[in-house]
Amino acid sequence: MNPLNIGNLSLSSFRYLALISLWLLVWWAAMLMEYQPYISLWYPPAGLSLAAFILIGRRAFLPILAATLVAGFWMYLQENSSLSWLRQAQNSLTLGTAHAVAYGLGGFYFRCLVGSWDIQHIPQRILFFLVVIFLTTLLGAWLGLIAFYLIGTMSVSEVFNSWLTWWIGDLAGALVLTPFFMLLLGRMWKLDNSWLKPLNIRLSGEPLHQQLWSKKLGLMILLVAIVLTADYVYGHPAIAYFIFFLCVPQLWMVYTESLERGILSLALISVIIAAWFGAFGVDDHALTYQFALCLIAANTYFGVAVPSLLHQNKQLHQQTKTDNLTQVATRSYFLEQAELQLTGRRSRDFPVALMVFDLDEFKEINDNYGHLVGDQALIMAAQSIRAHIRQCDLIGRFGGDEFLLLLPDQNLQEAEKTAERLRQHLPAIPAGRELIQINASFGVVEIAPDESLTDALQRADNALLKAKRNGRNQVVSSA
Ligand SMILES: Nc1nc2c(ncn2[C@@H]2O[C@H](COP(=O)(O)OP(=O)(O)OP(=O)(O)O)[C@@H](O)[C@H]2O)c(=O)[nH]1
């Protein structure tokens, strides 16, 4: 075996060992937070197992099974069990297999389906993620309880009495911590975290209020401290419900900070709630805190999607306004803006002129020099027109090589002069060693006060046709 392979082998063994150790650490933390036998406020190993299966697929099975085996032996050691080693191993393996199969299946479906979804599907992706977590933890809870029944630790009635609280603990652990562990394992394995990555597009453009991150976190910790202390002192169930208000600062965090910080704050705040809950022993209100954790987590993920959706929306809106090639207004946006401008300006004191122009024998440029040169001609013609009109004039592409111009406060004579100036300034474009002069024909009208935009367009188009028939490269107006 060459040294490179040995290096790779020891690196991957180290990563698997790190995964096993991390699993045992979070499992141990969950044990500390148990408020009923086998039931904790939340169950972090659920989040870690799902994250591992989503990220590394079936390669996560053995390390997680190994971790559950160690956890099983540890439990028996704590109990001073009189069972034989073999029996302890069998029981631990049964429990571990139930856990690994449930989370393995959840991870498998997530990998199969979400991998092919693109950024357009972020809300569906998040919804699917939540559904996977719901179903996986439900399966995990039931398989776990059946395993407990099979090894003789629980009776049938105990299974039926505890499945709901068991499931909610697993659900809270997985909802809150799966993305956090995905980020952590993604770094450990140097994996491209493709599920989370597209959400980061907002980081490119928008500034983040980084300096406020610690203040926002401080505010959340303060809120947790107040609610849990008040709950401990007064013991009234209504007080625990105030924990739901954490959604507000957490969403503020998610909208204004990086994705990593949003997920980290969710994990941190959940650990703090769990620790405080354990320290004060406000067990009667466990369900309120569990549901608050679930809701804050679900809100966070949808919150994460919002900036991406806004960004997408902005892009789409831009696309409907601006012609991709020439960067002038699209036909629909031009017509919409022209209608707006015409409203209230229909009097002889405030004339408005409309111009339609079309490049001459443009098809020949395409046919003789290729479409790329044709595109360049369209771009340069549009640029030249923009450079020679006023800020208040509106230019749009009607389609193909035909453009539209709206000239507020210009009467027919002024518009004719403008058209003539634009015609004379059309550029020549380079095509190999040649320079091709771009020419265009113009149809110009002044929009009458009682005339519709469609009628004015029709007149301008007729004038343009006349210019074409008269030999092109000229301005024709229609009174
Ligand atoms: N390169 C390029 N060509 C386009 C684009 N849109 C339309 N065309 C081409 O533009 C040409 C327009 O041709 P015609 O409408 O016959 O007009 P023309 O050749 O300029 O003839 P006249 O208007 O009578 O002078 C067609 O060949 C279209 O394929 C585009 O975005 N890029």
Domain ranges of the chain: 1-195, 210-321, 331-478
Rounded CA-CA distance 77/25 in Å is 17
ipTM surpassing 0.90: yes
> Residue 414 belongs to what H/E stretch?
helix 412-424
The secondary structure element, H or E, covering residue 355 is strand 352-359
- The reported pLDDT for the residue numbered 194 is 57
The verdict on the CB of residue 409 being under 6 Å from ligand 1 is no
Q: Which protein residue has the closest C-alpha to ligand 1 atom 4?
A: 400
Give the number of C-alpha atoms closer than 13 A to the C-alpha of residue 233, restricted to the C-beta side: 6
> Which residue puts its alpha carbon closest to atom 8 of ligand 1?
400
Please give the structure tokens belonging to residue 353: 């002129």
The pLDDT, as a whole number, for residue 183 is 87
371 Cβ closer than 6 Å to some ligand 1 atom: yes
Contact indicator for 444, 477 with CB cutoff of 8 Å = yes
The answer to whether 137 touches 44, Cβ cutoff 8 Å, is no
Residue 210's pLDDT is 58
Ligand 1 centroid to residue 359 C-alpha, Å = 8
Ligand 1 atom index nearest CA of 468: 24
- State in Å: Cα 166 to ligand 1 middle: 69
Alpha helices (H) along 57-121:
61-78, 85-114
Q: Please state the φ and ψ torsions of residue 359, each to the nearest 5 degrees.
A: -65, 145
Query: Which of 363, 439, 472 is the best mutation target for the ligand 1 pocket, counting ligand atoms within 8 Å of the beta carbon and taking the most?
Result: 363
Q: Which amino acid is at 24?
A: L
**202 near 308, Cβ under 8 Å?**
yes
Query: Residue 414: its pLDDT value, please?
Result: 96
Cβ–Cβ < 8 Å for 72, 90 = no
pLDDT given at position 119:
52
* Confidence (pLDDT) at 199: 46
If you measure from the C-alpha of residue 399 to the centroid of ligand 1, how many angstroms do you get, rounded to a whole number?
Answer: 9
In the block, tokens 């008269």 appear at: 470
Spacing of C-alpha 323 from chain mean position? 26
Give the whole-angstrom CA distance, residue 216 versus residue 221: 9
Going by alpha carbons, the residue nearest to atom 32 of ligand 1 is 375
Torsion of CA 159, 163, 166, 167, to 10 degrees: 150
Give me the architecture of the 331-478 domain, per CATH.
2-Layer Sandwich (3.30)
Q: Give the nearest ligand 1 atom to 366 CA.
A: 1
- Between the CA of 324 and the centroid of ligand 1 the distance, in Å, is 17
Determine the distance separating the centroid of ligand 1 and the alpha carbon of 382, expressed in angstroms: 15
**1-195 classified as CATH 1.10.1760.20:** yes
Which residues touch 262 (CB under 8 Å, ≥6 apart)?
A: 250, 253, 254, 300, 303, 304
Report CA(401)–ligand 1 centroid distance (Å): 5
Backbone angles phi, psi at 400, to 5 degrees: 55, -125
pLDDT attached to residue 127: 83
| Ligand 1 atom nearest to CA at 372 | 1
pLDDT number for residue 20: 96
Please give the pLDDT value at position 345. Answer: 65
Looking at the CA of residue 363, tell me the nearest atom of ligand 1. 19
Ligand 1, pocket-test mutation among 362, 369, 438, 472, most atoms within 8 A of CB: 362
- List the Cα angle 255/257/259 in 5-degree steps: 90
Q: Is the CB of 170 under 6 A from ligand 1?
A: no
| Nearest 10 degrees: Cα torsion 72, 101, 114, 200 | 0
What backbone torsions phi and psi does residue 435 show, to the nearest 5 degrees? -120, 125
Closest ligand 1 atom to 362 CA: 20
Give Cβ neighbours of residue 201 (< 8 Å, ≥ 6 apart): 119, 308, 311
Report the amino acid identity of residue 473: N
CA distance 445 to 354: 5
Q: Atom of ligand 1 at shortest distance to CA of 325?
A: 31
Say what the pLDDT of residue 355 is.
97
How many DSSP H helices and E strands does the chain contain?
Answer: 17, 9
> Which residue's CA is the closest to the ligand 1 atom numbered 7?
400
What is the residue-level pLDDT of the chain in tens, covering all 479 positions? 555 555 566 777 888 999 999 999 999 888 877 766 666 778 899 999 999 999 888 999 999 999 999 999 998 998 888 889 999 999 999 999 999 999 999 999 888 776 555 555 677 778 888 899 999 999 999 999 999 999 998 999 999 998 998 899 899 999 999 989 988 888 888 776 655 554 444 444 455 555 678 888 999 999 999 999 999 999 888 999 999 999 999 998 888 887 788 889 999 999 899 888 888 877 788 889 989 999 999 998 888 777 767 777 888 888 889 999 999 999 999 999 999 888 766 555 688 999 999 999 999 999 999 999 999 999 999 999 999 999 999 999 999 999 999 999 899 999 999 999 999 999 999 988 889 999 999 999 999 888 999 999 999 999 999 999 999 999 999 88
Q: What is the pLDDT of residue 201?
A: 44
Is the CB of 401 within 6 Å of ligand 1?
yes
Greatest Cα pair distance in the chain: 107
Our mutation pick for probing the ligand 1 site, out of 401, 402, 464, counting the most ligand atoms within 8 A of Cβ, is 401
| Cβ of residue 451 lying under 6 Å from some atom of ligand 1 | no
Pocket flag, ligand 1, residue 276 (CB < 6 Å): no
Closest ligand 1 atom number to CA of residue 373? 1
Q: Which residues pair with 440 in a beta bridge?
A: 359
At residue 200, the pLDDT reads 44
The pLDDT, as a whole number, for residue 343 is 79
User: Which of 199, 333, 181, 146 has its CA nearest to residue 266?
Assistant: 181
| Residue 359 CB less than 6 A away from ligand 1 | yes
**Ligand 1 and 372: CB distance under 6 A:** no
361 close to ligand 1 (CB < 6 Angstrom):
yes
